[in-house]
Amino acid sequence: MPDANKNYVGGEWTTTETGETLDVVNPADPSEVVARYQQSGSEDATEAVEAAAEAADEWAATPGPERGTVLREAAKILDDKKDELTDQLVAEEGKARGEAAGEVQRAIDIFYYFAQKASDLGGTRKQASGPDTDLYTIQEPVGVAALITPWNYPIAIPAWKLAPALATGNAVVLKPASVAPGPAVALAEALDEAGLPDGVLNVVTGPGSSVANTFVEADEVDAVSFTGSSQVGEMVYDQATDHGKRAQMEMGGKNPTVVASSADPEEAADIVASGGFGTTGQSCTACSRAIVHEDVYDEFVDALVDEAESIEIGPGNEADMGPQVSESEVEGTLEYIDIAENEGATLATGGGVPDDLGDGFYVEPTVFTDVERDYRIAQEEVFGPVVAVIKVSDYEEALDVANDVDYGLSSSIVTDDHTEAKSFIDDSEAGVVKVNDKTTGLELHVPFGGFKRSSSETWREQGDAGIDFYTISKTVYDNY
C-alpha cells in the first residue's frame, strides 16, 4: 500500500490529528489504490487557518515582483514535472492522457501569467479638486483566502484560484476534493520548493463537512472561493456571507449548443461531440443540450451518433475517453439515462456500461433524441457523457429553449448567419458565449463565470477579474 501523503501546514508536512487516512483508487481499475491522503478534521483545518493568519502580513508586505519570482520558479518546477503530474492526474481522476497533459500545461501557464501580473499590481492616480493633494488608490490583499476546489480539474482549478491569491499578497488555506487531491498537493510541493514563506499556503485534505466548514466559518478567513455543484455552492455562499466573508462561487451548468439552419451538420456534430464527450462530460461547461433546427436535425443526429460511436473508451493512457471519476458518478449518470428513457426520449446510441472493460467506472457516450425542453434530461446537470438533442422550428425558439434553464454558464451557436450570431451573443443568458465553437475550453486571461444558478454573480475568476477578487482598494488623499 502507498504511504500516506501529508498535509502542508505552516511550511511543514504534517499528519492529521484524527490519525485517519483516505484512499484514492484508479477509476479505470477500482481495485488499485493509487494514493493515500490525510483524512483531516476540524482541528487540522484550524491549525491551517492560524498558520495562514500568522503569515499573512509579512507576505502582503513582500513586493509584488518578489512574490512573482516565487510563482515563476514554481511554474518552472511544475514544467519539469509535467509528465509525472500528468500520470498522477490520469491515475487519480481518470482523464484521457491528452486532456490531462493539457490541464497540467494550463496550470503551468497560469502560474507564469500571474507571476508577471504580480509585478503589474497598482492603483490609479486621479486629479484632486484642490492644489497640493495627491489623490490615488492602492490595491491591497484581502488577507486570508479559503479555496475549496473540485475533482474534475484537480490541478487547473486550484491553480487559477491559488496563483492570483498569492500574486496579490494573500495567505491561503486550500481544501481539494477528496476524490483526486494529489495534483493540488503537488502545487504545494512546487511552491514549497520555490521558496514560498512558511504558512502562506496551507493544504488540508479531508471532508468538506469538517475541513471546508471550519475554513468558511473561521474569523481569520476574509474571502472564500468555491467551485463545485450548485447545491453545495449555494450552501457555502450562505455560510460564508453569514460570517461576513467576501464570496465567489462557480457552480453547475446545463450548457446548450444551438445548431442553426445554416450550419453544416457534420461540423456542428463535431463541435457538440467535443464539448459533450470531452473530459467524459465531467466539466461544468460541457455541452449537454444540442438545440437543432428542424431543417438539419436528421443529418445532425446521424453525424452526432457517428461521432459518439467512434470514440474509443478505456483507461486514460490508452483511449480517447476515460472513465468517470467514481462509482457514485457512474450511478448518477445511469440514473439520468433511465429517467430520460422513462420520460419518452429516444436512446439513439450508448446508454450503458461497456462489458469489456472490467470494473472501471465507464459509461458509453450517449445521445438522446426526441427530447422535450421540460424533460429532466434537458433541465438538470448530468455531469457525464450524455447529450440531449432538442428539435426546434426557428432561431427564436432555439434561443428561448437555450435560456429556459436554471443555469447560465456557457453556451454556443453554430451558424453561418452573422445576424443570428450577434443576436445570440447579446441574448444568450450565459457568462461565456461562443460562436462556431464548443462550450468547453477557456482562455486564462479573460473573466470566467456564469449567470443564474451557475454562479454567485459576485466576482469572476481568471485574468484581471481574478486579481479583483483577491484585492481591496484603498483611496489615498495625500495633502502634502
Instruction: List strand residue ranges (DSSP E) for 57-209, in order.
Output: 125-126, 133-141, 144-148, 171-175, 201-203
DSSP code of residue 311 = P
DSSP code of residue 341 = H
Q: Are 324 and 362 within 8 A, CB to CB?
A: yes
pLDDT in tens, 300-321: 999 999 999 999 999 999 999 9
Q: Which residues contact 136 (CB under 8 A, 6 or more apart)?
A: 123, 124, 125, 126, 475, 476, 478
Taken as a whole, the chain contains a residue count of 480
Of 56, 265, 228, the closest CA to residue 153 belongs to 228
Quote the CA–CA distance of 247 and 213 in Å, as a whole number. 14
**Grid-cell match 487531491, residue found:** 181
Check residue 1 and give its pLDDT. 54
What does the buried/exposed string (b/e) look like for 232-270 if buried means 16 or more CB atoms within 10 Å of the residue's CB?
Answer: bbebbbebbeeeebbbbbbbbbbbbbbbbbebbbbebbb
Check residue 45 and give its pLDDT. 97
pTM for the whole thing?
Answer: 0.95
Amino acid at site 29: D
The catalytic site residues sit at 250
The residue ranges of the chain whose pLDDT is under 50 are none
Quote the CA–CA distance of 275 and 286 in Å, as a whole number. 5
Of 17, 40, 36, 23, the closest CA to residue 211 belongs to 40
Quote the CA–CA distance of 251 and 126 in Å, as a whole number. 38
Of 123, 118, 127, 151, the closest CA to residue 137 belongs to 123
User: Integer distance in angstroms from the first to the last C-alpha of the chain?
Assistant: 67
| List of domains in the chain | 7-251+455-479 (3.40.605.10), 255-435 (3.40.309.10)
Check residue 4 and give its pLDDT. 81
Check residue 21 and give its pLDDT. 95
Check residue 426 and give its pLDDT. 98
SS3 state at 407: strand
Distance of CA 162 to the CA centre of its chain: 13
Query: Which residues lie across from 256 on neighbouring strands?
Result: 289
Of 30, 28, 34, 45, the closest CA to residue 4 belongs to 34
Give the CA count within 13 Å in the CB-facing half-sphere of 317: 13
Q: Which residues contact 278 (CB under 8 A, 6 or more apart)?
A: 99, 286, 321, 438, 440
